[in-house]
Structures are given as C-alpha cells and as structure tokens.
Chains A and B, each alone.
Chain A
Amino acid sequence: MTGIDSGYCAANREEVEQIQLERLQAVLHRVYRNVEYYRESFRGRAVFPDDVVSLDMIRRLPTTGRATLVANHPYGMFAVPLREVIRLQSTSPVASEAIVVGFTRNDIDHWTELAARSLLSAGVSRDDLVHICIDYGLFPGALGLHYGAEKIGASVIPGSNMAPDAEFEMMRNYHTTVLVTTPQRAVRLANYIRSHHIHAKALMLRACLLVGQYWSESVRSKIEESMDCPVYDCYGHSEVVASGIAAECKKRNGLHINEDHFFAEIVDLTTGDTLAPGQKGELVITTLTKEAFPLIRYRTGDITRLDYQTCECGCCFARMDRVSKRTDDMVFIGGVNIFPSQVERIICDVIGARAPAPIFQLIVEGNEASESVEVAIEVSEAIFSDKLRVLREIEEKIRGELFDMLGVAAKVRLVEPGNLRMEPAGRGRVVDRREVNGG
C-alpha cells in the first residue's frame, strides 16, 4: 500500500544471490568503463570485471579505503558526469581530508526507499508523526530518513537544534509517535525526563530510532525506560548512504542489511582477507545500485559480524551485529567525526615535531549537554622544562588550531614524557568516557 519494495528479502537466498551477482557484474562494468581509479587498480591486480563470475570472486578485487576517496577528491570517483548529479554531500569538515559524495535522481530515490524500509521495520506507518531531532547540516543521514518517512506517508517534523526542554514540550504537544535522533540527543532528552520526574507515559512514543553513531545497550535500556518505547538501531555510513544501509526489525536481533543494494563482506583487520560468516572483523561494502558514486569493496572502518540465517521476522537478508567499535579511533564530537590523525597533524604543525609521532590522548567525557574534550600531549623534556609562558603559548596555539580546523573546543594540556598510558600501535589515543558509549 505504501509502495515500498521490500527488495527480495522475503524471497530465498538463491534469488538474493542471483540479483546480487547481476548487479555486482553491472556495477563492475560501469566503474571499469567510467572511473579511471578503478580501471587502473583492477589492471594493477590483473583482475577484470569479467573474472567475477561468482560473488566469492569479488575477493580478488582490491579494497578501497577512505584515503583513496580523499586522494581523488572532488570528482575522481564519480561514475557519471556532474550534470547528472542532483545532490552533493561533503562528508568531512576538514579541507585536507575532504570527500564529496554525489547522488543521481535514482540514487536519491533508492536512498529514500532504503530509509523507508528502516522506518517500516521499526513499525512506522502513515499514521505516525515522526519527529527528526537531528541537525540536518551535521548529519546527512537525517535527510534520507526525512524523505523515507514522507514516502511512507507519515507526518514529519524536520530537525532543529532545540534544547531538551523545548524538544520535550514539542513532542508532548504535537503528539509525536516516532522519535528519530542521535544517541547523544536521546540521552540528553532521557536525562531531562528523569531529572524532572516526568512520567514515561507523558509522551506518546511508539518507537525511537537512533542513528549516526555507536551507542551501548545500556543506553538502549535507559532510553526505553524513560520514554516507554522500543529503541531501534539504524546503520548508515557517510560515504555510502548515511542512513538506511541496515536496520533492526522488531525482533532486534541484528540489523538487516539491504542486500539488494549492498554486498557486504567481513575482512580481517590486518590482512584484509575475507573472513567466514559469523567471524568478527571490518565491514566492507560494495554498492550494487549506486550510479553517481559507486564504491567497490569499501572499508567502512566499522567492526561487526554477519549472520546469514533467516530472521524470525521472515526476512532472509543477512544481519549484522550492532557496530560497537571502529578499526581506527574515529570519534564523534559534537556531531562531527574526528580522526586522531587529524589531531596529530595539528600537533606536529605547532610543535614542529618530526617522527616519531607525538604521543597524545584525546579524552572525551560527559554527554551532549556537557561534552568536554581534552587533548593531553607528551612533550620532550626540553620543551617541558621551558618557561611556563612558552608552554601556555603552545597549548593556546594548538587549542586555536583544533577549533579552527576541526571545530572542536578542546582543553589542551602538555605533560611530561611517560605520563600517558598508551597501548602498542598507537591504540588508546582516544579515551571515550561519554555516557552514550556505555563508559
């Protein structure tokens, strides 16, 4: 009735795999013809689209990393001329790491459909009033969900940057039945509801969808308790589609991947080898239908595992575990994704350090209402024994650069060598103690 195609998920694996093979072969031919980077990288490995005669054979193709997208910015990875692109979305606030993703008319329509599926699987219908409490500018996934909710025929209230009390009042007065938001804002709202001793039934929520970043099961129970509605996870990726790649159904035993549009693999973090179903590793996605910005074996940086058993709900699409970790230390701060490598570069620029890389920690605490970020940096004895004024100047300079370049208001603290507890291989550069991460 809603005209939203469930995309073969009610069929059987054989049919899903036939569709995937057909679409995979077609997209490989398109990128080989239209994207020089892919043509060269396939040739470099002496594999050609014709060699991919089964889904397994995709392993012979090279994976694509974020760095490749940065290197080919702005339009090097586009598979159609710019005039056929109807939307451009920049996914990084930092000029030196910019990536721009393009969408054709069909790409937008597909995204809309995928977002609609995510909402439908959480039980959203045309009778719902969907409140999207997300800053559309910061998180492009919001736009997809907005279109998806409209496609279902629900009433949609677009996002804004309201304080929790205003948000709460609006939801209560307008009888919002579905809340779509980020985990941080949901936690903030839950805290407001708790601290004001508001009864959970004060809102008429039937479902809450959390998008955009990672959150713990303890966040789920906290929100469910204070808002008296089930909370669903919805997965997207800014370089693929920022919402609607996968979503939880009512059974909430993994997120259904929309396999008619995406081919998913799990690879070993270090070797890059494809792992057997059920093993944990990095999620690698190949887009099967995207026209403007197709991605072949894109390394998402998200760690999960896949389950190919048909879900109790009847859907035969593979399910992924909720993402709990990333391969790199990317963090979301104030809705912006920050890589420690970006922070490292700024530190190097300011203190002029060459290799070895400076030792530092990015410590994030609190919740969205009061998020605090501290950057602790180990400096050499020589610098540390300098005049206090010099130290303060360096701190101030780094602080300013962090704000200008990354948009992060951080406290900067220089410490003596050996003061930061680091794990090998640069791990532990991010210490996330925020509530949403269950820390």
Chain B
Amino acid sequence: MLRIQNLKSYYGRLQALRGISLHVGKGEIVTLIGANGAGKSTILNTVAGLVSQSEGKILLDGKDIRGLPAEKIVKRGVALVPEGRQLFAPMTVADNLALGAYLRHRNGSKAELEQDAEMVFGLFPVLKERRKQLAGTLSGGEQQMLAIGRALMSRPCLLLLDEPSMGLAPKMADEIFRTIVRLKQQGVTILLVEQNARMALEVAEQGYVIETGQVVVQGPSADLLRNHDVERAYLGKGYEKVWE
C-alpha cells in the first residue's frame, strides 16, 4: 500500500532523512523505532505532506504523493496523529472530531459526520461521555484517544501514529496499544512511531530501526526483538565491547 524509496527530507540546510526506503503492506502494522532526533517524525510528516523540502518516492497504491499539499494527501486516505496530539484545547471534544471530518470533505453531510462520530465513540466510549467537555480538560490518555479519533474522522486507509503512548501511564499506554490492534482488525493500515520499542514490536508485523536519518535494521518484529542493536539502544539493555 505504501512504498517509500530513497526519501530525503530537509529542514533548510539540515538533512533530516538520508535516503529512507520502507514499505507498509495493506492491513499491516509497521513500526519505526530509534533514538530521539533519528528522523522518525520527519518520515511521518513528509508522508503527510507537512515537510516542504524532500526528494525520493512516496508511492501510495503505486502513485507518487510526495510533494502534494497536505489536504490532498488526507483526501487520498492518509491521516496523521501528530506527536504531542496537537488538539484544539479550547474546543470541545465534538468540535475537535468535526474538524477531523472537515479535513476530508468540507461539505460532508451532517448525517455522515454523526455516523463517523458514533464509530469513534464506539472505539472510545469515554469520549462520548465527554463530548461536550473542552479538549484541554481531558486526561493525557483521553487526549490521545481524541487525537486518534479525530484522525479516524477522515476515514483513512493509512494511519500515521507518532508516539501515541508518549507521556501516558503504563495502563493507559496498554489501552492505546489495544486500540491500535483493534484498528488493524478493522482493516486500517498503520505506520507507528514509538519510543516504547518493545510494545510497538509486539503489535507490529515489521519494523525499521532508524539512526541519523538512515535505516540500519529492517525485518520482521520477532527478529528485531532479538536484534542486539535494538535491545541495546531501545529496550534498555546494557552494553560494552568485549573484544579488543
């Protein structure tokens, strides 16, 4: 479904991605792991059309979407849940969701909108209880649910999730990971960026380890869980050289 080849992204003169190739099969969860500043968010943001300078190919179902404006990419069925959620705090839960739908079709009918909101409430019942509450008053976990819910309002086929468990208590993080699995079961394809490498690899089929804008390891999640580079860097195991 998504196939990226030799993607390079720049922020002014800083090159954040140095030729990334990766793919996500239909209905799969694929995870990107790596240290802070490795370029994971840049990959998601470039796919979502939020990085203005880039080279390479981003093929969505065979068509290159690199360089298209963000709203066109949303229309093609790609939705980003950005790092740090980026909700509209002074707006209600319901309005935040409506905004997500608006991004897809400015003139969607009210009935459609309600239908989609019900789908989100089915996934996150707590949001239904709090639909009239201001987004800024929600707990961290609830905010993350809202951020995912807002993205789902555009009925994406590819969901880009940037560190959804960041800053959440372990129980809440578990809940978010369960949601990710449920979304996959509903047929959503997911590209997931996570600091919590172990949990991400447990839900994903494939993974990529990113270091300084390059892929250094690629493979099935089971392999990555046993890869020593991964263990060392992201699963918190100690390491020192033993020869020499």
**Chain A residues at the B interface, C-beta cutoff of 8 Å:** 5, 18-19, 21-23, 25-26, 29-30, 33, 49-50, 53, 75, 80-84, 104-106, 109-110, 289, 291
Contact = CB atoms under 8 A, between A and B. Distances in A.
Interface stretch (B130-138, B150-158, B173-181, B217-225): B217-225
A105 B5 contact: no
Given A21-B21, A25-B214, A53-B19, 12 more contacts: A18-B23, A22-B208, A25-B19, A26-B218, A29-B214, A33-B216, A50-B18, A50-B19, A50-B214, A81-B243, A104-B228, A109-B226
Contact of A22 (B22, B223, B241): B22
Contact of B217 (A5, A18, A30, A110): A30
5 contacts: A18-B5, A29-B216, A30-B217, A50-B19, A81-B241
A84 B228 contact: yes
Given A29-B215, A82-B243, A83-B242, A22 B23 contact: yes
Given A49-B214, A83-B242, A291-B227, A18 B21 contact: yes
B75 to A, nearest CB: 25
A23 B218 contact: yes
B92 interface: no
A80 to B, nearest CB: 6
A22 B3 CA distance: 10
A395 to B, nearest CB: 44
Contacts of B208: 22
A109 B226 CA distance: 11
A30 B208 CA distance: 13
Q: Is the interface of B mostly helix, strand, loop or mixed?
A: strand
Contacts of B6: 53
A84 to B, nearest CB: 5
Nearest to B242: A83
A379 to B, nearest CB: 46
Among B21, B22, B226, B227, chain A packs the most CB atoms within 10 A around the CB of B21
Interface residues of B, number: 26
Contacts, number: 61
A35 to B, nearest CB: 13
Contact of A21 (B5, B211, B219): B5
Contacts of A75: 243
B207 to A, nearest CB: 11
A53 B7 CA distance: 10
Q: Is the interface of A mostly helix, strand, loop or mixed?
A: helix
Nearest to B227: A106
Contacts of A84: 228
Nearest to B20: A25
Nearest to B56: A53
A81 B19 contact: no
A22 B218 contact: yes
Contact of A30 (B19, B216, B219, B241): B216
Contacts of A19: 23
Nearest to B223: A106
Interface string B54-80: 000000000000000000000000000
Contacts of B219: 23, 289
Nearest to A80: B228
Contacts of A109: 223, 226
A18 B3 contact: yes
Nearest to B6: A53
Interface string B179-206: 0000000000000000000000000000
A30 B230 CA distance: 13
A105 B21 contact: no
A30 B216 CA distance: 6
Given A21-B5, A75-B243, A81-B242, A26 B19 contact: no
Nearest to B209: A26
Nearest to B213: A50
B243 A25 contact: no
B56 to A, nearest CB: 8
B242 A26 contact: no
Contacts of B214: 25, 29, 49-50
A82 B239 CA distance: 12
B166 to A, nearest CB: 26
A23 B242 CA distance: 27
Contact of B226 (A5, A26, A30, A106): A106
Nearest to A33: B216
